[in-house]
Chains A and B, each alone.
Chain A
């Protein structure tokens, strides 16, 4: 059984970062702490990574303006363009149907 030294200076460091066992030149095996990885924003329906949405630590994301964090459209930064088109079409068709049922006087046959 190999013994890994924790190599800890403060507890916060241990919590936040990913631990990797590394053999040092002196022959010891210690943990090195890698920066946390950040997962990309994904489409809520098909789970594909979204375009035009940067990923990074919160401190970096906070510095960006809103317009650089998601596309400027309804569901921007939430749905991918393909899924978005499907959702919007479904909604629009429903509205069209509602219009047919409601006011018949100025509806033409399409």
Chain B
């Protein structure tokens, strides 16, 4: 469904994790998706969020639906973004 799909990298725009990046892991329905930071990397917990609270970025990583945090982390390591995130910390 549209831009927000499994593997899409997003920025959270609401709540305590606002401004942090996350990856969509599973699409629950037209309003909700499950995301993860992963927490080790960006601090975003694995949780269900409203799509309205996400801003999609022009970057998609290759992960299966419902991927675990470790899988997501491995997939992220190949991208430019990962270096930036590590540098930021």
Contact = CB atoms under 8 A, between A and B. Distances in A.
Report the interface size class on chain B: 10 to 19
A91 interface: yes
B55 A96 contact: yes
Given A92-B55, A99-B81, A108 B19 contact: no
A106 B80 contact: yes
Interface residues of A, number: 21
A71 B3 CA distance: 31
B71 to A, nearest CB: 17
A106 B13 contact: no
Contact of B57 (A73, A95, A105): A95
Interface string B30-64: 00000000000000000000000001111111000
B58 A88 contact: no
Contacts of B81: 99, 103
B58 A110 contact: yes
Contacts of B58: 96, 99-100, 107-108, 110
A85 interface: yes
Contact of B59 (A74, A88, A92, A106): A106
Contact of B79 (A85, A89, A95, A106): A106
A100 B13 CA distance: 19
Q: Which of A89, A100, A105, A110 has the most CB of B within 10 A?
A: A110
Nearest to B10: A92
B19 A88 contact: yes
A93 to B, nearest CB: 7
